[in-house]
Structure 1
Amino acid sequence: MASLSAALNLSTLRPSHPPSPPVLKYPSVHNSSYSPSRRLTLFHLGTALPQAQLLDVKASQLLKAEENTSKAAAALEEGAMEWVKNDNRRMLHVVYCVGDLDKTIKFYTECLGMKLLRKRDIPEERFSNAFLGYGPEDSHFGVELTYNYGVDKYDIGNGFGHFGIAVEDVARTVDLVKVKGGKVIREPAPVADGTTIMATIQDRDGYKFELLERGPTPEPLCQVMLRVGDIERSINFYEKAFGMKLLSKWDNPKYKYTNAIMGYGPEDRNVVLKLTYNNGVTEYNKGNGYVQIALGTDDVYRSADAIKLFGGKITREPGPLPGINTKITTCLDPDGWKSVWPLTLLAVI
């Protein structure tokens, strides 16, 4: 009611206008070809067709771009794998920490037959190193022991498995280990296939060594065993990023695990990486004792690129190592196991 009265009041304020002229009426003309709705439809069709064509063109362009991207990625992977395959690579040494350097050197040389290759003390950084093995570093796999001042004990964790050593007489080596105060975890006995005698011992820091009875071999320190959370993922990574070959693989349904042997040459003549997957276990405690494996390469920059491309993580970008005449890069595999890559020709680090 209020709005109506307001409208009425407003009408009194408007100026008056002359009366509107009479509306002229024309006879209606019917044109069957004209329809506003039809005209609107035709207009929409005229605009919709170009839009549909435009969408088709854009979709085609996107598909082509995606196809080109996929081809480029495939070419990049193929090129990286080819370079990795032709790179001059080998496993150099394994690095881990010990609580008493001199006692460990004594045990390894007297019981396991290793030789002390070199030793160095870095007092300004409060650590010492010792390199041991069965031959020169430029042609044999070895161990690098690290002693950090004041630290006499380490957590080995449950991710690291063991080192493998080929010996000609397992029983004799085990007897020597007992005499020298080592711990025997498994007495000498045939393995499942019945053709190989094996025993397991443990050093004073808790690192296990699997002793395998074999004839003379150029690489007695023959194996590093690590546990992984996805065996297929690890095989794929080490094949593509590290250029290793899958030498063998087998399942043990009874004990619910799978092993894969990876390496750069035949297992009886080269050191290999043994990867173990325990069914259903995806993560492990790595502890703080085991550190890394060192591998040689001709180009640390291209090695780092390949590692990143195939799922690894670079923890030290490739470049010169201060104070030492070499270049290195370091990385983590998909399970977090670390490796360091120095130039093959300058691999004394």
Structure 2
Amino acid sequence: MAEASAPATLTPELLEWPKKDNRRFLHAVYRVGNLDRTIKFYTEALGMKLLRKRDVPEEKYSNAFLGFGPEESHFLVELTYNYGVSSYDIGTGFGHFAIATPDVYKLVEHIRANGGKVTREPGTVQGGSTVFAFVNDPDGYSFELIQRESFSEPLCQVMLRVGDLERSIKFYEKALGLRVVMRADRPQDKFSLAMLGYDEEEKTAVLELTYNYGVTEYTKGNGYAQIAIGTDDVYKSAEVVNAVTQELGGKITRQPGPIPGLNTKITSFLDPDGWKTVLVDNKDFLKELH
């Protein structure tokens, strides 16, 4: 019965909810093989601040939260170290994170001096004007460095590869209320991309989805985990996601409710490509911080 009645739950009122909701990107969550080494690289080479750290010995893991500003207002990385695990497979689907900076050349030299691996020297693409470069962190995660004169969110992108760009855009627009802020098609390089955000690229972090011509599936590896996004109503948001997954694919992996012991209400789901998003109650999240 639930299958038959589910599409009816995607009412116009429910579809409007993600657009009205008070949403922002909170964290990108991924696993690293040596927490202290990564913290040192992110603070000394990339210029991030260590905002908090927690150790959970009973579950054999530690977390560290790093970013360019306070958690209440900025997008952060949440690093997870699982006791005894020194390396991860990043897979073919995860692309990169990105950092906006006023001077890519200067930042690249600073990163190089701090032991970072530069995988693409600063420059522009043919016909383009934006200066960018790529570097790898100690675990092999890729960071794009983008030159911008003005920006409010230095940690500005998470790039994931998808097998059907139109389907993914529809999914994120409907399920999360994101909107396309930029699109590009590069037939000469055989890929298309879309940037999705809650505001323009200079004002907020965005999700960059890339479709490589002819590639419909990617490996996920076990390194990158998920993006966390804030919501004012986890239950209502989960209702929307549940209806959208029945139309476009994906699935809810954790029903909405409080995390035992922490009481923060969350729900989590996979998109049609298997990428995970966690929606976190805004008030509960702020309580966690104080």
TM-score by length of 2: 0.93
Provide the residue aligned with 2:25 in structure 1.
Answer: 91
Provide the residue aligned with 2:217 in structure 1.
Answer: 283
Q: Distance in 2 between matches of 1:165 and 1:152?
A: 25
Matched, 1:172 2:106: yes
* Counterpart pick for 1:270 among 185, 192, 204: 204
Q: Distance in 1 between matches of 2:180 and 2:77?
A: 24
- Cα-Cα RMSD: 1.6
* Counterpart pick for 2:262 among 324, 329, 335: 324
1:193 Cα deviation after fit:
4.1
Matched, 1:336 2:274: yes
Unpaired runs of 5+ residues, structure 2, are none
Q: Distance in 2 between matches of 1:74 and 1:122?
A: 43
Amino acid of the structure 2 residue aligned with 1:238? Y
1:121 Cα deviation after fit:
0.6
**313-322 vs 175-184, which moves further:** 175-184
Contact 2:259 2:266 in 1 (8 A): yes
TM-score by length of 1: 0.78
1:77 Cα deviation after fit:
3.3
Q: Distance in 2 between matches of 1:166 and 1:192?
A: 20
* Secondary structure of 1:161's aligned partner: strand
Provide the residue aligned with 1:221 in structure 2.
Answer: 155
Amino acid of the structure 2 residue aligned with 1:140? H
1:75 Cα deviation after fit:
7.8
> Which one has the bigger helix percentage?
1
Higher-RCO chain (CA-CA 8 Å, sequence separation at least 6):
2
| Residues matched between the structures, number | 280
Amino acid of the structure 2 residue aligned with 1:314? I
Matched, 1:115 2:53: no
Contact 1:199 1:211 in 2 (8 A): yes
Amino acid of the structure 1 residue aligned with 2:25? M
5 Å-filtered alignment, 1:145-294, equals 145-294=79-228
1:108-158: CA deviations, max 9, x gaps? 111111000000111111100000001111100000000000000000001
Amino acid of the structure 2 residue aligned with 1:307? V
Q: Distance in 1 between matches of 2:265 and 2:126?
A: 44
- Percentage of pairs with the same residue: 61
1:78 Cα deviation after fit:
1.4
1:233-263: CA deviations, max 9, x gaps? 0000000110000111111111111000100
* Counterpart pick for 1:304 among 234, 238, 258: 238
- Structure showing greater radius of gyration is 1
> Which one has the bigger strand percentage?
2
Unpaired runs of 5+ residues, structure 1, are 1-68
Q: Distance in 2 between matches of 1:76 and 1:292?
A: 25
